[in-house]
Amino acid sequence: MTLTQVGPTELFLPEGVAGQQQIDSGFAVWIGIAIVVILVVGVCLRAMSQRRVDPRELAFRALSKKLGLSKGQVASLEKFSKVSGQQPIGLLMSPSAVRSAAQMQADTE
């Protein structure tokens, strides 16, 4: 006895399986779109919040990080700047300004 094939082989799946696959792929597309929207909104909000910060403050943060200053040192420079009325970036750039601000801090205490 020989088996002969007249046409191509077909795979029959129950209707629930094929329909479920379409629902899953549609759901994945919507999840992907939602993630992209959330990321774009987050990037925009971050950009807007950074624009509100004084550029001198951003320069102070970047330079103090580059110099490897500790959080305590950064806090001291900010404290000295409030006492002396100078910008923190100015104190960071000028050792003599730091000395005079420290002296003013010592005189007020």
Lowest mean pLDDT segment, chosen from 27-36, 43-52, 69-78: 43-52
Q: With 0.75 as the threshold, say if the pTM is over it.
A: no
CA distance 19 to 23: 6
Q: What is the mean pLDDT of residues 23-45?
A: 88
CB-based contacts of 90, cutoff 8 Å, min separation 6:
81, 97
Structure confidence by residue, pLDDT tens digits, 50-104: 777 778 888 888 888 998 889 998 888 888 888 878 888 888 888 787 777 777 7
End-to-end Cα distance, the chain: 109
